[in-house]
Structure 1
Amino acid sequence: MFPRGEFLLTKLADLFAKGVRRYLPDAFVIAVLMTLFVLVIAIFMNLNQPATILKSWGDGFWTYLAFTMQMVLLLMTGMVLAAVPFINNFLRSISGFANTPKKAYIITFLVSAAAYYINWGLAVVVGAIIAKEIGKRNSNVHFPLLVASAYAPTVLYTAGLSSSIGLTVATPDHFLASVMGVIPTSETIFAPGTILIFLALVITMPIFLALMSPKENIKSYKPLHFPKDETALEQQAATIEEAPTPAQSLETTPIIGLLIGAIGLLYVIYEIANGRDLDLNIINLFFLSAGLFLHRSLGQFSNAFKEAAGSISPIILQFPFYAGIIAILTSSGLGASIIDWMISIASPASFNVFTYWTAGLVNILAPSGGGQWALQGPLQVPAGMAIGVDPGKIAMAVGWGDAWTNLIQPFWALPILSVVGLHIRDIMGYCILLSIWVGVLTSILIFFLY
């Protein structure tokens, strides 16, 4: 349909992919290098206070432990829910429709996008499963681009049910409540402008990905491990069936999981029915309870949780380093300088576009929606409200900016890469090129809609 445009985009994608594979280091190396980079700049900005800057880094290193736990649970409960057998089987059946490379990239994106809208922890495993299943069935599919297609919808999570900023400002007594009040999700993630941006990205991003499809040097899917010994598994199951111990009965009975899961789901329904808005805690409890209810036993649920833990370990390792970076940005005035400069050249009409760009820049240094909001919100919201900008739209502009540069910040790609067995270098070239399109399109839409 667009042969010349497709040829150009394919060549650009190949160029970006080759360059990234050669020069991009490991994600943990990037986190450490960013820490050193920000630390040096902050000390140069405050030459008479190097000890203060160093102390702020050490003090800030553990600042977001509670938030880290919320984020880890959000990811893990979503991943465990995706491991429910009937959900897993459903994803496998969908993969049968991807009988050409372009269909493969588009279907992978759309399935993953639906999961990201629900929960970005759920999306990690949904994206990984659909990418692996399609990769198994279609050897003509370039697996790194397929995984990039599964990860690309990360930009959509800010408009979804697990939007960290959207849920934070909807939580009673959030840290900016005295400035902007409690903003219901009807004015953030469910606002018309947010929905229109979401739909525009859902329509155009998979087309862009499909047009990057390589014509040569196809890297097909390769399984990570040898298949498990099915005979040994059958013998183990037969042994349990023949003489289950009381302990094994408790682990394998579905009754206990159904009971405790139902209790949790009833609590969530009760809270929402009585006016509670969506927040991080209620979302986490819902997915935890749904997983307990839908898994066949507590033993199965526990095993799925253990498997999810391995994919989360890079986040647990790296998040304190980024928390330290946030602390440096705050204490040194570096973060405020970036934000203040953007604010100083913005008008009421362009304020949210500059907010979006600022958030994208800050997110590269500190990839955490909640942590970034803690840094940017206290500066951005009062300045915007002073010139008549709606605080809910400011919050979403920060959210969109945070999600936008997730495409080029490797931190949140770590879980899905752990599941599929790829390195960040394998997908980042495609993500960088896609981020250019997302940045241009979203900037235009925010200007006219926000």
Structure 2
Amino acid sequence: MLARIADRVSSGVQRYIPDAFVIAVLLTLFTFLVGFLTNPTEPISLFKSFGDGFWVYLTFTMQMVLLLLTGMVLAAVPVVKKGLGSLASLASTPKKAYVLTFVVTALAYYINWGLAVVVGAILVREVGKRNQNAHFPLLVAAAYSPTVLYTAGLSSSIGLTVATKDHFLADVMGIIPTSETIFHPSTIIIFAVLLITMPIFICFMAPKTNIKPYVEKEVPKKKGNDIEHADSPALKLERTPILGIVTGAIGLVYVVNEFMIGRDLDLNIINILFLSLGLILHRSLGQFGNAFKEAASSTSPIILQFPFYAGIIAVLTSSGLGQAIIDGMISVANKETFDVFTYWTAGLVNILAPSGGGQWALQGPLQVPAGMQLGVDPASIAMAVGWGDAWTNLIQPFWALPILSIVGLHIRHIMGYCFLLAIWVGVVTTVLLFFLY
């Protein structure tokens, strides 16, 4: 029955859900409209907020672009491709394909969400090649859906923020150690329940017929050749492995030294690690550069759409719309239900402002003092915001863009399955939050 429901929902979504860029523009216009209604006396401030905020994500955008490029280039190395192929070959049946993809990506999300973006995308592509009986959009959904688990992992933006000395809410809630957030028994239980039940739910959604297999994206063939200049000094420099090995070794020394002095895993470290390994393992700088060119087209949606979401977040903050949503939820909550309402509020705000750190900056100053007045533990408030932020990532195209870019699908292809998963995750997490916190 669930498979039939999933098939109907997926078919409906594919008909009515537009491209992810269209969704970003519609969300922008919706935020402006509500902003005008909320604050009609100063409409020009919304335009200023949008323009000023439009470029806030430039650094993050470039980090994500490099994350995808360096990850894909590293995956193109023969030894890495062989290893991924061996792992993917374990998925001998469609159900094994869904479960393997989900579990491996979930473990990667637990370690670091940036690492998981590349691991999930490349793994699902390799599994799809080897298991043509697996429904590929559902397989991609299985690789993307573990994004709801990152808030309990080692790179949890909110969990790490509140554990940092002198964080912006330290005067209100103090320093909250990770033992009370991401390593708290309640967080571990929620993580474990979702880790077990989500792949089962995915398997029940698998279509019985109308299998849509993986289709390899065509890579334009290069024109011309360099045979007549094969012995030129320039081409010898392009083809020698020495330059790449030496340059990559410099990057690896830097990475090792950073870890030795206590630096945590972050996007910059992952990028320079992937870049360095790619330089060392590719046979030449020329081969490395060509791999980058072939992967570059996959990053265009990120470059185009991330600035629009930065503008949306700025308008959401300046218009007072975000505060109105939060205040409305707080007004009907009590001590027993506060974390649940916080979770729902965070899920709603995340649809418009898909950024864990940005959402905590918006929601934390309002949610934490109100909860503490009711006697709610600030650590549980922080995790409720984190779970809510991760929950609606399932139906927010922002974080799906990287994996969709790599595998060549549109958001409409996976949104139906992600929507049903979001319902399941929302119900399960709501119940657990109510009884555990």
**TM-score after normalising by structure 1:** 0.86
Q: Is the 8 A contact 1:84 1:294 kept in 2?
A: no
Partner of 1:3: none
- Give the aligned residue type for 1:119: N
- 209 and 53 in structure 1: CA distance in 2 versus 1, 3 angstrom threshold: same
Mapped pair 1:286 → 2:269: yes
Amino-acid identity (%): 64
Deviation at 1:443, TM superposition (A): 0.9
> Which residue number in structure 1 is paired with residue 22 of structure 2?
29
Query: Which residue of the other structure, out of 237, 246, 262, is the alignment partner of 1:255?
Result: 246
- Which stretch of the first structure deviates more once superposed, 79-88 or 116-125? 79-88
Structure 1: distance between partners of 2:187 and 2:154: 13
Are 2:418 and 1:419 aligned? no
- Correspondence 1:203 to 2:190: no
> Contact 1:128 / 1:419 at 8 angstroms: preserved in 2?
yes
Q: 1:400 aligns with which of 383, 387, 396?
A: 387
Residues 1:265 and 2:248 are matched in the alignment: no
Helix, strand or coil at the partner of 1:271: coil
> CA separation in 2, counterparts of 1:85 and 1:157?
30
Q: Equivalences for 1:305-384 in 2 at 5 Å?
A: 310-384=297-371
Quick check: 2:181–2:187 contact (8 Å CA) kept in 1? yes
Q: State the 1:368 CA deviation.
A: 1.2
Q: CA 1:209 to 1:301, structure 2 compared with 1: closer, same or farther past 3 Å?
A: same
Change (3 A) 1:192 1:289: farther
1:391 and 2:378 correspond: yes
Shift of 1:184: 3.4
User: 394-403 vs 12-21, which deviates more?
Assistant: 394-403
- Residue 216 of structure 2 corresponds to which residue in structure 1? 223
Structure 2: distance between partners of 1:156 and 1:30: 24
Q: CA deviation at 1:383?
A: 1.6
Q: Which amino acid aligns with 2:267?
A: N
Q: Shift of the alpha carbon at 1:196?
A: 1.4
Distance 1:69 1:167, change over 3 A: farther
Asked whether the equivalents of residues 166 and 395 of structure 1 are also in contact (C-alpha less than 8 Å), the reply is yes
What is the identity, as a one-letter code, of the residue corresponding to 1:411? Answer: F
Q: Which residue matches 1:141?
A: 134
Q: Displacement of 1:205 after TM fit?
A: 0.3
Deviations 1:194-213 (A, max 9, x none): 22111111100000000111
Larger mean CA deviation between 162-171 and 44-53 belongs to: 162-171
Q: State the one-letter code of the partner of 1:353.
A: V
Letter in 1 for 2:388: G
> Alpha-carbon deviation of 1:243?
9.5
Partner of 1:275: none
Matches within 5 A, 1:115-194: 115-194=108-187
| Structure 2: distance between partners of 1:191 and 1:306 | 44
> Which segments of 5 or more consecutive residues in structure 2 lack a partner in the other structure?
none
Please give the alpha-carbon distance, in whole angstroms, between the structure 1 residues aligned to 2:157 and 2:321.
24
Which ranges in structure 1 are unaligned for 5 or more consecutive residues?
1-7, 273-277
Amino acid at match of 1:255: V
Deviations 1:239-262 (A, max 9, x none): 589997456547644233123312
Kindly indicate whether the alpha-carbon contact (under 8 Å) linking 2:121 and 2:403 is maintained by their aligned counterparts in 1: yes
Letter in 2 for 1:144: P
Decide whether aligned partners of structure 1 residues 301 and 46 sit closer, same or farther in structure 2, where only a CA change above 3 A counts.
same
Alignment root-mean-square deviation, CA? 3.0
Q: Which moved more, 1:262-271 or 1:33-42?
A: 262-271
Q: Note if contact 2:251-2:273 (Cα within 8 Å) is conserved in structure 1.
A: no
Equivalenced residues, count: 431
Give CA-to-partner distance per residue, 1:380-419, whole Å, 9 cap, x none. Answer: 1222222232323222211111111111111111111111
- Deviation of the 1:35 alpha carbon: 1.1
- C-alpha distance in 1 between matches for 2:296 and 2:375: 45
| Structure-2 change in CA distance of 1:377 and 1:310 (3 Å) | farther
Relative to structure 1, the CA distance from residue 83 to residue 336 in structure 2 (aligned partners, 3 Å threshold; closer, same or farther) is farther
Q: 1:440 deviation in Å?
A: 0.3
Aligned-partner Cα distance in 2 for 1:304–1:94: 22
User: If the length of structure 2 is used for normalisation, what is the TM-score?
Assistant: 0.88
SS in 1 for 2:262: helix
Q: Secondary structure at the match of 1:223?
A: coil
The 10-residue stretch of structure 1 (158-167 or 69-78) with the greater mean CA deviation from structure 2? 69-78
CA contact (8 A) 1:367 1:402 kept: yes
SS at match of 1:379: helix
- Of residues 423-432 and 388-397 in structure 1, the stretch that sits farther from structure 2 once superposed is 388-397
Which residue is 1:448 aligned to? 435
> Higher mean Cα deviation, 216-225 or 118-127?
118-127
**CA contact 1:81–1:122 (8 Å) conserved in 2:** no
Q: Distance in 1 between matches of 2:434 and 2:428?
A: 10
Rounded to whole Å, the distance in 2 between the matches of 1:99 and 1:115 is 22
Q: Aligned partners of 2:95, 2:400: CA distance in 1, in Å?
A: 22
- C-alpha spacing 1:67/1:177, structure 2 compared with 1 (3 Å): farther
- Residues 248 and 16 (structure 1), Cα distance of their counterparts in 2 relative to 1, 3 Å cut: same
Q: 1:241 and 1:376, CA in 2 relative to 1: closer, same or farther beyond 3 A? A: farther
